[in-house]
Amino acid sequence: MATTAGSTTQRSETSSRWRFLTNHGHVLIHLARHPESRVRDIAAAVGITERSAQSILADLEADRYVSKVRHGRRNHYELHPELHFRHPQEADHQIGELLDIFR
């Protein structure tokens, strides 16, 4: 890491523009840890809006990575870790492998 203030600032600004995991990945990891979370909780944990969290949940449900089960007035999210990643480069891996890293 550079020792000058300018280089340190540059590196911080650059590193804040991208992440290794997408928000979809962050939502999956959060649900693995907290399956009873409300949309509000998911959004706050991931750092996105509630509308974005709802959209991501809809994507994950549509592709069957997540199932929503109603428990009284709350939702419980069940993950399907046996499903594979969508991108061809990772398609031979199950999402459970990622979730195991962060549990």
Q: Where are the domains of the chain?
A: 19-102
Q: How far apart are CA 18 and CA 69, in angstroms?
A: 33
- pTM for this model (two decimals): 0.82
Cα dist from 14 to 52, 84, 102, whole Å: 24, 31, 25
Q: What is the CATH number of domain 19-102?
A: 1.10.10.10
Among residues 66, 74, 70, the alpha carbon closest in space to that of 24 is found at 66
C-alpha angle 77-91-44 in degrees, rounded to nearest 5 = 35
Q: Find how far residue 57's CA is from the centre of its chain.
A: 10
Tell me the pLDDT tens digit for each residue of 2-55: 445 555 555 556 667 788 999 999 999 999 999 999 999 999 999 999 999 999
Res 103 pLDDT > 90: no
